[in-house]
Amino acid sequence: MEKFPKIGLPIIIGVVILIVIIAKSAVTIGSGEAGVLYRTFDNGVVTDEPPLNEGFHIVAPWNKVFVYEVRQQELVERMNVLSSNGLDIKLEASIWFQPAYESLGKLHQEKSEMYKERVLLPAIRSAARSVVGRYTPEQLYSSKRDAIQQEIFEETQKFVVDQYIQLNEILVRDVTLPPTIKEAIERKLRQEQESLEYEFRLVTAAKEAEKRIIDAQGKADANRILSASLNDQILRDKGIEATVKLSESPNSKVIVIGSGDSGLPIILGNQ
């Protein structure tokens, strides 16, 4: 019993040391994350091996693991940029990005965990200023929004393509013009819309008038053809045919008085 403390104390100390070592060595990589291993006594950041993936890992206690989120992320940036005529424009954009997984070690070594502030944001700002500077406020407000968005993406891509960053999309969320410029553009757009509506009404009226002229011309041509085809014999035949039909009617009392050798009969009745 007297020897137990002398034997048990080193064991307890050893167990404690082992627990501390395991605690220091255990690394858990969460969902959507990856780890960059830093070997303190072996050339520092590991760049020639894949990053540590999700799950539990044991590393030497003197080494470090830097954890990065490798899922798609969103960064919202609000900028003041100048249009082609020097007016101040406020632009708000969403950047969808993620670090290049296979190059995560190089990203950490060259850009560090602040790669967004050091690389991505300066790139998007520079691209936005370059692209917006090509357009007038009116183009920014109306017809060129999609084109500007695509051009900003392409310009930013040129900056980050070799920076171990995967750029997925850039969305222009809002373009804010100075109030006086916005009102002037809206007023001009309303006037253009009213002008288009007036032109449409004129075209519609002209087409309706043309349709009526064509209808009238058709009727005139038909009457002219009909008049040219009529003669006395046809008129007498039509008159006789009509007289016969009237005489056959059970509800008619018909009196026929001859109007001459070549004239049509006169038909009188109470119906």
Same domain, 99 and 48: no
Is residue 135 a contact partner of residue 144, using CB atoms and an 8 Å limit?
yes
**Which residue, 92, 97, 89, 102, is CA-closest to 117?**
97
For 244, how many CA atoms within 13 A lie in the half-sphere containing its CB? 6
Phi, psi angle pair for 49, to nearest 5°: -130, 155
Same domain, 105 and 161: yes
Instruction: Tell me: pLDDT of 1 over 50.
Output: no
**Strand pairing report for 44-45 and 33-39:** antiparallel
Instruction: Tell me the pTM.
Output: 0.61
In a domain, 225, yes or no: yes
Same domain, 110 and 26: no
pLDDT tens-digit series, residues 196-219: 776 777 788 788 888 888 888 887
Same domain, 207 and 219: yes
In a domain, 182, yes or no: no
pLDDT tens-digit series, residues 32-59: 999 999 998 888 999 999 999 999 888 8
Instruction: For residue 71, give the 3-state DSSP assignment.
Output: coil
**CATH code of 77's domain:** 3.30.479.30
Number of domains making up the chain: 4
pLDDT tens-digit series, residues 63-85: 899 999 999 999 999 998 888 88
**4 vs 109: CA distance, rounded Å:** 52
In a domain, 212, yes or no: yes
In a domain, 114, yes or no: yes
Domain that holds residue 80: 73-177
Q: Among the three residues 41, 69, 97, which one is the final residue of a domain in this structure?
A: 69
The predicted pLDDT at position 36 comes to 94
Same domain, 131 and 209: no
